Chain A
Amino acid sequence: MPDYKRPKSLMPMATSYCPGCMHALATRLVADVIGELDQVNNAINVVSVGCSALNLYTWAGDVIGSAHGRAPAVATGLKRCLPDRLVFTYQGDGDLAAIGLAEIMSAANRGENFTVIFANNQTYGMTGGQMAPTTLIGQKTTTTIYGRDPETTGYPLQMCELISVLKAPVFVARYALNSPKGVADAKKGIRKAFELQMAGKGFTFIELLTNCPTNWGMTPLQTLEYMNTNTIPYFKPGIYKDKEGEA
């Protein structure tokens, strides 16, 4: 029987995410898996900067805030000193794929034994909807008011594709949270990543395609369809690397 109660890793309070924001769903999935794996008192959430930082106020387990983009470096220091703890970063796309690109690629390349939960909503939500490294071509943001132009801003960064070519990572996968199946698959992926970490296998990377009704200028329901027609065709869900599965 599935457990529909509030997971122990979340405070008994409302999140401060906007209505319809999938950050709440993503956080809930992570907390659910941590509860199911009996890791509530063993997990450490390394929070980043952006909307993901709101985790600081609603996460009930051990949590540490870090500088913009540096969560993988903070997690590296933490996990090296506390190898028995379940350590994960929770990062958005501006944090992970722009300012923190060096930290994420280097931690992945070293095969650090922690998990990265990467919420990709293609915008800087906290600062008001500027272009992110993952913003889609033609997508309008407050710094690309006519739509993202690849001539001057390049192309959306596909992090699963980038990280999966490295030798060290053991599990790299992308899921879209705009359908019940996507949510169910994501939860399985998160669980697999945490189990691999607990077995000491190495670096695991879970990308979750999320939305931003506020800065996309859509109703939550409209974002679900937008993701089907725009986000998912470019950021294709799937397992990009599964070292243990291949072996």
Chain B
Amino acid sequence: MEKRFMKGCEAIAEAAVRGGCRFFAGYPITPQNEIPEYLSWRLPEVGGAFVQGESEVASINMVYGASASGKRAMTSSSGPGISLKAEGISYLASAQLPAVIVNVSRGGPGLGSIQPAQSDYLQATKALGHGGFRAMVFAPATLQEAVDVMYDAWEYAERDRGPVLVLMDGCLGAIMEEVTLPPMKEVNFNNTKDWCLARVDGREESHMITPILPEPALEMLNKFKGMTYKGWEMNDVKVEEYLIDDAEYVVVAYGIAARVAKEAVNTLRAEGIKIGMIRPITLYPFPKMSLDGLDYDKVKGIIDIEMTIPTQMRDDIELQVKGRCPVYEYGRSGGMLLDDEGVLSAIKEFIKEGE
């Protein structure tokens, strides 16, 4: 294991290479430019290919083509670019091709701002593209977690044959932290994966990869995918539960917001307030059980903290709380950052309201 002090975007780029990524296509957009910059020289070092696409639309379609070869392929962007990639992400889902997409998100909507935000939660978890498919969405809160998530992202993408989204924000992309880098994965690309066009050895029959299907086949595929998504809820939820056993107030936050919120939780605990935090690491599948399973005889309020206004995770939270206690929300937006003071005083206000 190798320790390095790295910038977020570069750390996940290196983790991708070590996780077996051998193709990247992308288009410049702040705040994720260090990912393509890093991979432009790093991928050729390991026999991979880097293409700077003419657009996000072209880039995601390059990933679609590369993935069909059986090689591990990825792209990265930020909100405005992810919107453009929506077409290709939907096609990946339809053609059942694995790929990893990174969104280092910024203020929105529109061109928005280039400063960090968490304004793409709904896009990520509900509709990454047209047609009603879902993708697993990982939302790391530290660079080590981001490295670990990237390293294993293709395992999920290939297991279930579809796109996987890593949702970061501009803060995580830009900060520097110490990370432990995992070893280089040995990935055999000349295998006989039955879904790819690259069955070089012992290949006997041709293969078709298609984003269009006859109606009964498409319905079958959608039913099958529906069962796959149910399976994710059973088996693949990742969540951090922090001090919730005796909690009267529970903060729900992910990514960078969770780091700020955790500081507030620790401060309030020191003041004797029984408060804890649920931090979804997978935003989809959402950690339903963690919220549904709280002891609502004890819990007086749920506090949703996100770096976006209005908050977007709230609907998912309320579906689990089912009216058993009030749900409060606090956020900053447009590239304005959450800070310790703001989060702490907001939580105190909600607690005062709840008592």
* Residues of chain A whose beta carbon lies under 8 Å from any beta carbon of chain B: 41, 44, 46, 53, 56, 59-67, 70, 73-82, 85, 102-103, 105-106, 110
Cβ-defined partner of A106 (8 Å) among B58, B95, B209? B58
Instruction: Check A66–B197 contact: CB distance below 8 A.
Output: no
Separation in Å of the B12 CB from the closest CB of chain A? 20
Cα distance A77–B92 when bound, in Å?
A: 13
Q: Does B340 contact A (CB under 8 A)?
A: no
- Which size class do B's interface residues fall under? 35 or more
Residue of A44, A78, A85, A102 most packed against chain B (CB within 10 A): A78
Given contacts A67-B91, A70-B58, A103-B58, contact A77 B211 (CB under 8 A): no
Contacts of B66 in A (CB 8 A): 77-78, 80-81
Q: Does B198 contact A (CB under 8 A)?
A: yes
Instruction: Check A81–B209 contact: CB distance below 8 A.
Output: no
Separation in Å of the B41 CB from the closest CB of chain A? 16
Instruction: Check B61–A74 contact: CB distance below 8 A.
Output: yes
Cα distance A65–B198 when bound, in Å?
A: 16
Q: Does B143 contact A (CB under 8 A)?
A: no
Contacts of B95 in A (CB 8 A): 64-65
Main secondary structure on B side of the interface with A:
mixed
- B328-354 CB contacts (< 8 Å) to partner A: none
Interface pick from B67-75, B105-113, B304-312: B67-75
Q: Does B23 contact A (CB under 8 A)?
A: yes
Contacts of A63 in B (CB 8 A): 206-210
Measured CB to CB, the nearest residue on chain A to B73 is: A77
Cβ-defined partner of B197 (8 Å) among A44, A70, A105, A110? A44
Q: Does B87 contact A (CB under 8 A)?
A: yes
Instruction: Check B211–A66 contact: CB distance below 8 A.
Output: yes
Measured CB to CB, the nearest residue on chain A to B59 is: A73
Cβ-defined partner of B61 (8 Å) among A67, A85, A110? A67
Instruction: Check A74–B54 contact: CB distance below 8 A.
Output: no
Contacts of B69 in A (CB 8 A): 77-78, 81-82
Instruction: Check A77–B210 contact: CB distance below 8 A.
Output: no
Contacts of A78 in B (CB 8 A): 65-66, 68-69, 197
Inter-chain contact total with CB atoms closer than 8 Å: 121
Given contacts A73-B61, A106-B54, contact A81 B23 (CB under 8 A): yes
Instruction: Check A56–B54 contact: CB distance below 8 A.
Output: no
Residue of B69, B91, B198, B207 most packed against chain A (CB within 10 A): B69
Residue of B49, B87, B91, B206 most packed against chain A (CB within 10 A): B206
Further contacts, 9 of them, CB under 8 A, given A60-B206, A73-B62, A82-B69: A41-B206, A59-B208, A65-B208, A73-B57, A76-B65, A77-B69, A81-B65, A103-B54, A106-B58
Measured CB to CB, the nearest residue on chain B to A76 is: B62
- B185-228 CB contacts (< 8 Å) to partner A: 197-198, 203, 206-212
Cα distance A240–B45 when bound, in Å?
A: 38
Instruction: Check B65–A67 contact: CB distance below 8 A.
Output: no
Q: Does B55 contact A (CB under 8 A)?
A: yes
Instruction: Check A81–B210 contact: CB distance below 8 A.
Output: no
Cα distance A67–B212 when bound, in Å?
A: 10
Measured CB to CB, the nearest residue on chain A to B87 is: A67
Cβ-defined partner of A74 (8 Å) among B22, B62, B212? B62
Contacts of A81 in B (CB 8 A): 22-23, 49, 65-66, 69-71, 73, 198
Instruction: Check A74–B64 contact: CB distance below 8 A.
Output: yes
Instruction: Check B209–A77 contact: CB distance below 8 A.
Output: no
Q: Does B301 contact A (CB under 8 A)?
A: no
Contacts of B212 in A (CB 8 A): 53, 56, 65
Cα distance A63–B64 when bound, in Å?
A: 13
Measured CB to CB, the nearest residue on chain B to A81 is: B69
Separation in Å of the B119 CB from the closest CB of chain A? 26
Instruction: Check B55–A102 contact: CB distance below 8 A.
Output: yes
Instruction: Check A77–B25 contact: CB distance below 8 A.
Output: yes
Separation in Å of the A107 CB from the closest CB of chain B? 8
Given contacts A41-B203, A66-B91, A102-B55, contact A56 B208 (CB under 8 A): yes
Cα distance A67–B91 when bound, in Å?
A: 7
Cα distance A62–B95 when bound, in Å?
A: 14
What 7 pairs between A and B have smallest CB-CB spacing? A77-B65, A77-B66, A74-B65, A77-B62, A81-B69, A73-B61, A106-B54
Measured CB to CB, the nearest residue on chain B to A70 is: B61
Contact with A along B32-69 (1 / 0, CB 8 A): 00000000000000000101011101110111111111
